[in-house]
Amino acid sequence: MLKVYVADTAALSEERVFWEYMDRVDETRQEKVWQCRNEEDRKRSLLAGYLIQVGIRNWMDGGGGQQAGEAPLSLSYTYGRNGKPFLKDYGEVCFSISHSGRYVMGAFSNHEVGVDVQKHRETGMGMAERFFADEDKALLERLGEEHASDNFYRIWTVKESYMKLTGEGMRQGMDATVLEPEGEGLCCGRILRKDGKTGDAYFALSDRLEEYSMAVCSYDKLADINYKEIIIGKASDRENM
């Protein structure tokens, strides 16, 4: 089972809403929020903490979520060999968090998972030439020039989700893996590690958000991914997607 949540930070620009959601996260997350140096980073950190609260509650109680005025869960973390975080008191739940631009994304599963969300920007093939393996450069060429910039970010997003899965981050290098899409496009497939140190993984890619890509990566085959958009800033959060 895999549940994916995404939310927009825009409503947190309103002071009343920001403080309301500060009350919905645990003290550890509140401290992280105030360690951020600018407003946008504070909003992303706050929303990441809130999605963890939502994800854990929905996982444990089957969708009840956090009610207005209800005290947040007190969360503590342990860390894997590569620094990947796990929840101490909810060890049966694996999670991963990512943010880019206005959006924050969180995934929750009973298997290890990695996610990434990336805002598309104008870029040239120079980035791919510098960072991607030859196989991925060839894949970009096969996909055509018309949407080359968007496809570059789609591939980048998948690779970052794999880095979240392993916990290695950018230490791993973008050229350490290659994508093996299923079918003609980039909607899903496998990601192969060239050095063979860890097992191959599976990815699913979504363009549900305009001008953004979202990727989920797991060592297990991906099926029945449940995407939900959390609309914050209302008396009661709403879920779409």
CATH code for the domain in which residue 174 is found: 3.90.470.20
Q: Which amino acid is at 181?
A: P
Residues 99 and 58 in one domain: yes
Cβ contact 51:230 at 8 Å = yes
Number of domains in the chain: 2
- CA 161 to centroid of chain Cα atoms: 7
Q: Distance between CA atoms of 13 and 30, rounded to whole angstroms?
A: 17
Q: Which amino acid is at 225?
A: I
Residues 6 and 105 in one domain: yes
Q: What is the dihedral of CA 205, 149, 200, 107, to 10 degrees?
A: -40
Residues 7 and 77 in one domain: yes
Residues 135 and 206 in one domain: yes
Q: Which tokens belong to 93?
A: 């739940």
Residues 6 and 101 in one domain: yes
Residues 101 and 132 in one domain: no
Residues 204 and 228 in one domain: no
Q: What is the pLDDT of residue 234?
A: 67
Cβ contact 218:113 at 8 Å = yes
Residues 168 and 92 in one domain: no
Residues 144 and 47 in one domain: no
pLDDT bin (cut points 50, 70, 90) of residue 168 is confident
Judged against a pLDDT cut of 80, whether residue 196 lies above it is answered with: no
Residues 212 and 127 in one domain: yes
pLDDT bin (cut points 50, 70, 90) of residue 239 is low
Residues 157 and 214 in one domain: yes
Task: Extract long-range pairs of 218-222: CB within 8 Å, 24+ residues apart.
Answer: 218/2, 218/109, 218/111, 218/112, 218/113, 218/114, 218/165, 219/111, 219/112, 219/165, 220/111, 222/2, 222/188
Residues 137 and 99 in one domain: no
Render pLDDT for 6-60 as a digit per residue (tens, 0 to 9).
Answer: 999 999 999 999 999 999 999 999 999 999 999 999 999 999 999 999 999 999 8
Render pLDDT for 212-226 as a digit per residue (tens, 0 to 9).
Answer: 999 999 999 998 899
Structural domain range at position 183: 119-218
Q: Distance between CA atoms of 165 and 94, rounded to whole angstroms?
A: 10
Cβ contact 208:227 at 8 Å = yes
